[in-house]
Amino acid sequence: QVQLQESGPGLVKPSQTLSLTCTVSGDSIRRGGYYWSWIRQHPTKGLDWIARIYYSGTTSYNPSLASRFIISVDTSKNQFSLTLRSVTAADTAVYYCARQWDGSGNYFDYWGQGALVTVSS
């Protein structure tokens, strides 16, 4: 059973850097065949795909979002991470990590439970 678990601070001050980590169990990031993505959801809003990374380090980002995001992977720990610089209140959201099929449809078949991040002084 594939499981993903987000971890990180629940509260971040404006202008600081947010770091989130997703720990994967039941699958190996190094196996290939899947991308590993971050998606966020503002309160009572829709889903916004942020970025994805392959085990090799190949990345893609949503060009509609600010270029403040950096995604990285640590295959030795079976984890991938998201860094967001200079956070503002607009970054308050639930952040999900998810496994994304690297093929037709590029769908997300496993999701973490989500990490609520609040940006406030």
Partner 1 sequence: SYELTQPPSMSVSPGQTARITCSGDELGEKFVGWYQQKPGQSPVLIIYEDSKRPSGIPERFSGSNSGNTATLTISETQAIDEADYFCQTWDTFVVFGGGTKLTVL
d(Cα 71, Cα 52) in Å, to the nearest integer?
Answer: 7
Residue 11 C-beta: closest distance to partner 1, Å: 19
Residue 33 C-beta: closest distance to partner 1, Å: 15
Identity of the residue, 14 or 101, whose beta carbon is nearer to partner 1 in the bound complex:
101
Residues that bind partner 1 (CB under 8 A): 37, 39, 46-49, 52, 60-64, 96, 100-101, 104-109, 111-114
d(Cα 71, Cα 53) in Å, to the nearest integer?
Answer: 7
Identity of the residue, 28 or 107, whose beta carbon is nearer to partner 1 in the bound complex:
107
Torsions phi, psi for 59 (to 5 deg):
-125, 155
Residue 71 C-beta: closest distance to partner 1, Å: 13
CB burial of residue 81 (10 Å; 0-12, 13-18, 19+): buried
Identity of the residue, 16 or 62, whose beta carbon is nearer to partner 1 in the bound complex:
62
